[in-house]
């Protein structure tokens, strides 16, 4: 299984909005509404930010939102804050009953 | 609150077997799926495999021939064995719970802090 495709980096200024894309195939993203997103700060464990494409766990800011169209999922972050600077990973359940991650996107808050 | 903690050697020699254990506290391992994920230096997260408390497993096809995942219900633990390791297996290894409560399914909601395993002679 090939990794999902994410941009290597994105950046934005405080208060701005950004979107991170995650492209897969009909065997993963396109076939299931089981896309999730994780935030990872250096030296820390990943933290769940979005599950089931667009649902937010309790405690996650409503500045984070998710969506999906066809084989591509997206994570949007509005009102960027310095603490949003981190690596972000998408993942999807697959037709092989496994999971596949994206390569990760480094978000820089300028 | 479910908590996970990885344990095992931090240094493994090439061609040997990497063995890690994840201890689950604050909840029973006798439900849900339990997984291993790794983060190689300078690269992205990689799914290794998962096990259901019943013992059924599934693994990343690229690692399948070298990976064994097992569960010990009596100790509330699950384990990873990765055979014939090389330097490419150097990574931070995480254990995580895979939530499966329909209709919400298949996401990693609780993670261990991670443990660095270096493959070197």
Express each pLDDT in A56-86 by its tens digit. 999 999 999 999 999 999 999 999 999 999 9
pLDDT by position in tens, chain B (length 121) = 999 999 999 999 999 999 999 999 999 999 889 999 999 999 999 999 999 988 899 999 999 899 999 999 999 999 999 999 999 999 999 999 999 888 778 999 999 999 999 999 9
| Bridge-based pairing state of the strands B11-12 and B115-119 | parallel
Residues in contact with A93: Cβ distance below 8 Å, sequence separation at least 6, in sequence order:
A28, A32, A34, A99, B105, B106
A2-20 pLDDT, tens per residue?
899 999 999 999 999 999 9
Q: Do B44 and A102 touch (CB under 8 A)?
A: yes
Question: Rg (Cα) of chain B, in Å, rounded?
Answer: 14
Cα→Cα distances B80→A60, A69, A94, B83, B90, Å: 31, 36, 22, 10, 15
Give the A-side interface with B, CB within 8 Å.
1, 3, 32, 34, 36, 38, 40, 44-48, 51-52, 55, 57, 89, 91, 93, 96-104
Burial A16-30 (b: 16+ CB within 10 A, else e): eebebbbbbbebbbb
Beta bridge partners of A92: A35, A100
Q: Which of B94, B52, B47, B49 is nearest to B71 (CA)?
A: B52
With H, G, I as helix, E, B as strand and everything else as coil, classify residue B78. strand
Which DSSP category does B66 fall into? G
Q: Do A101 and B62 touch (CB under 8 A)?
A: no
Are B114 and B92 within 8 A, CB to CB? yes
pLDDT score of B103: 78
**Chain A positions in Cβ-Cβ contact with residue B43 (cut-off 8 Å):** 103-104
Residues in contact with B62: Cβ distance below 8 Å, sequence separation at least 6, in sequence order:
A1
Are B65 and B82 within 8 A, CB to CB? no
């Amino acid at each position: 299984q090939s990794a999902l495709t994410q941009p290597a980096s994105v950046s934005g200024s405080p208060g701005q909005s950004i979107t991170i894309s995650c492209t897969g195939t009909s065997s993963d993203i396109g076939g299931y509404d089981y896309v999730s997103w994780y935030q990872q700060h250096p030296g820390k464990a990943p933290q769940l930010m979005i599950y089931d494409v667009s649902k937010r766990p309790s405690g996650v800011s409503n500045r984070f939102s998710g969506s999906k169209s066809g084989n591509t999922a997206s994570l949007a972050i509005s009102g960027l804050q310095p603490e949003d600077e981190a690596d972000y990973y998408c993942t999807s359940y697959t037709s092989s009953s496994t999971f596949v991650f994206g390569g990760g996107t480094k978000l820089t808050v300028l | 609150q479910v908590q996970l903690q990885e344990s095992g050697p931090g240094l493994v020699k090439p061609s040997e077997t990497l063995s890690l254990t994840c201890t689950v506290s604050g909840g029973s391992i006798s439900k849900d799926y339990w997984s291993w994920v790794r983060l190689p230096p300078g690269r992205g997260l990689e799914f290794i495999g998962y096990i259901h408390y019943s013992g059924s497993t599934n693994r990343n096809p690229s690692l399948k021939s070298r990976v064994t995942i097992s569960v010990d219900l009596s100790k509330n633990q699950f384990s990873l064995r990765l055979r014939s390791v090389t330097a490419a297996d150097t990574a931070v290894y995480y254990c995580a719970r895979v939530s499966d409560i329909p209709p919400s399914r298949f996401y990693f909601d609780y993670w261990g802090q991670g443990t660095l395993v270096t493959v070197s002679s």
